[in-house]
């Protein structure tokens, strides 16, 4: 439950590393995965042949994989291009187990992470402009290719982040999606030290957003529904808490001078729509929580106050690497509940219930 302090893992890392490598040495020939066999199906534990990395790929021995709300896209077949069976999982922490032909930057034994961005083509317009995350042929771990609900997975070499020694694999998992998304959205938002930044939603994304925001030097305001999250929000680094169930959050933000940025994480377009008037002139509603409903925004205050609404995807492997390093440096950690791979159905149901505090992680 508690957020571990920076440096507390220092002593353990050598022992941990040894344990990770020892299990790596046992010759495995099979790969146990939790796959979705058909659209809407349950997770099935299946023993597959050990996959071999192709050109430009590496094989990762998975130590932990976060269970993300976006895994519903795979399980429920929400993208038309998903084929089944498919192994979900895009919050993968592990160690390089084997490298394929042409891979020069990774070697066996490297601690690595893999996130949503699973690879890019290098030749589309976005890639030629260096904006790999909007690649029009983007690969997605656990969606277009098998992900981390497995003992082993194959990843593209350009989509792998280096994971610091001191980070526990299970704690690192969620940083590869929920972490990078909040970290990267905020660091690209234009907010600077001392700026008022509101984080709407004290959940899987929000509890990381508050921590990162506080470490970036923002004056962070947590916005949650009900009074019960106030203590936690402040413990995570929020200077102030607004209970949106009992007050008008936008008005409360205006009393504080208006927000430079509102990071909207709770998947409710309606709740986000109501927050726009809490922005100061030039402020930005930065949305990362996905909702099926459209966002409604009054145009006059948007135009007159030069306010903006922006979305943000996660980021590339380098962004993940920055996220992991920053988390190691500053003590930002995901709060997690662990389940063994064999209990993938239970873990997924727990995540979907919205009651987990706050990220569910499978351990192998
Ligand atoms: Zn995710
Ligand atoms: Zn591309």
Give the per-residue pLDDT at 10: 44
The H or E element spanning position 279 is strand 279-287
Question: Does a cis peptide bond (omega within 30 degrees of 0) precede residue 358?
Answer: yes
Partners of 179 in beta bridges: none
Tell me which DSSP letter residue 181 carries.
H
Distance from the CA of 128 to the center of ligand 2, in angstroms? 7
Ordered per-residue pLDDT tens for the chain, 364 residues:
444 444 444 445 555 555 555 544 556 789 999 999 999 999 999 999 999 999 999 999 999 999 999 999 999 999 999 999 999 999 999 999 999 999 999 999 999 999 999 999 999 999 999 999 999 999 999 999 999 999 999 999 999 999 999 999 999 999 999 999 999 999 999 999 999 999 999 999 999 999 999 999 999 999 999 999 999 999 999 999 999 999 999 999 999 999 999 999 988 888 888 899 999 999 999 999 888 888 999 888 899 999 999 999 999 999 999 999 999 999 999 999 999 999 999 999 999 998 999 999 999 9
Give the per-residue pLDDT at 2: 41
Give the per-residue pLDDT at 115: 97
- For the chain, domain boundaries: 13-177+315-363, 179-311
Nearest ligand atom owner, CA of 130? 2
Distance from the CA of 265 to the center of ligand 1, in angstroms? 12
The CA-atom distances, in angstroms, between 142 and each of 62, 127, 154, 155 are 13, 22, 11, 10
Q: Distance between CA 314 and CA 245 in Å, rounded?
A: 29
Give the per-residue pLDDT at 187: 97
Nearest ligand atom owner, CA of 315? 1
Q: Judge contact between 68 and 142, C-beta under 8 A.
A: no
Distance from the CA of 72 to the center of ligand 1, in angstroms? 10
Distance from the CA of 316 to the center of ligand 2, in angstroms? 12
What kind of fold does domain 13-177+315-363 have according to CATH?
Answer: Quinone Oxidoreductase; Chain A, domain 1 (3.90.180)
Nearest ligand atom owner, CA of 138? 2
Q: Distance between CA 245 and CA 237 in Å, rounded?
A: 21
Q: Judge contact between 293 and 269, C-beta under 8 A.
A: yes
CA-wise closest residue to 116 among 212, 207, 184, 164 = 184
What kind of fold does domain 179-311 have according to CATH?
Answer: Rossmann fold (3.40.50)
Give the per-residue pLDDT at 16: 57
Q: Judge contact between 254 and 278, C-beta under 8 A.
A: yes
CA-wise closest residue to 218 among 237, 231, 243 = 237
Q: Distance between CA 190 and CA 202 in Å, rounded?
A: 22
Tell me which DSSP letter residue 307 carries.
-
Classified as helix, coil or strand, 138 is coil
Distance from the CA of 290 to the center of ligand 2, in angstroms? 24
Say which residues have a Cβ less than 8 Å from residue 337's Cβ, sequence separation at least 6.
350, 356, 357, 359, 360, 361
Nearest ligand atom owner, CA of 134? 2
Mark 85-107 as b/e (b = at least 16 C-beta within 10 Å): ebbbbbbbbbbbbbbbeebeebe
Common-topology check for domains 13-177+315-363 and 179-311:
no
Give the per-residue pLDDT at 246: 94
Give the per-residue pLDDT at 1: 40
Nearest ligand atom owner, CA of 66? 1
The CA-atom distances, in angstroms, between 300 and each of 32, 297, 303 are 56, 9, 5
Give the per-residue pLDDT at 5: 41
Distance from the CA of 115 to the center of ligand 1, in angstroms? 8
Distance from the CA of 181 to the center of ligand 1, in angstroms? 9
Place of tokens 């990078």: 180
Q: Distance between CA 103 and CA 34 in Å, rounded?
A: 28
Q: Judge contact between 209 and 263, C-beta under 8 A.
A: yes
Give the per-residue pLDDT at 28: 76
Neighbours of 298 (CB within 10 A): 11
């Amino acid at each position: 439950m508690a957020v571990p302090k920076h440096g507390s893992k220092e002593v353990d890392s050598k022992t941990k590393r040894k344990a990770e490598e020892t299990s790596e040495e046992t010759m495995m020939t099979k790969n146990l995965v939790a796959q979705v066999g058909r659209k809407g199906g349950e997770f099935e534990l299946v023993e597959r042949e050990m996959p071999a990395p192709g050109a430009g790929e590496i094989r990762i021995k998975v130590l932990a994989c976060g269970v993300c709300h976006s895994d519903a896209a795979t399980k429920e077949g929400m993208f038309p291009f998903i084929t089944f069976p498919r192994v979900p999982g895009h919050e993968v922490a592990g160690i390089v187990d084997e490298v394929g032909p042409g891979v020069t930057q990774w070697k066996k034994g490297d601690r690595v992470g893999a996130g949503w961005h699973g690879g890019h083509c290098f030749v589309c317009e976005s890639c030629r402009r260096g904006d790999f995350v909007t690649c029009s042929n983007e690969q997605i771990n656990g969606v277009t290719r098998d992900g981390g609900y497995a003992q082993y997975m194959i990843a593209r070499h350009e989509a792998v982040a280096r994971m610091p020694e001191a980070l526990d694999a299970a704690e690192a998992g969620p940083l590869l999606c929920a972490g990078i998304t909040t970290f990267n959205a905020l660091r690209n938002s234009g907010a600077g030290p001392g700026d008022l930044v509101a984080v709407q939603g004290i959940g899987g994304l929000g509890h990381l957003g508050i921590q990162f925001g506080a470490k970036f030097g923002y004056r962070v305001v947590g916005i949650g529904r009900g009074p019960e999250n106030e203590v936690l929000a402040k413990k995570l680094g929020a200077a102030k808490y607004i209970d949106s169930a009992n007050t008008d959050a936008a008005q409360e933000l205006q009393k504080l001078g208006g927000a430079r940025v509102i990071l909207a994480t709770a998947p409710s377009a309606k709740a986000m729509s109501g927050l726009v008037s809490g922005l100061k002139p030039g402020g930005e509603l930065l949305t990362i929580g996905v909702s099926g409903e459209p966002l409604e925004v009054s145009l006059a205050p948007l135009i007159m106050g030069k306010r903006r609404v922006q979305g943000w995807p996660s980021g590339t492997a380098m962004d993940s690497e920055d996220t992991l390093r920053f988390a190691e440096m500053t003590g930002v950690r995901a709060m997690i509940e662990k389940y063994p791979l064999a209990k993938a159905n239970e873990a997924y149901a727990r995540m979907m219930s919205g009651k987990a505090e706050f990220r569910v992680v499978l351990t192998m």
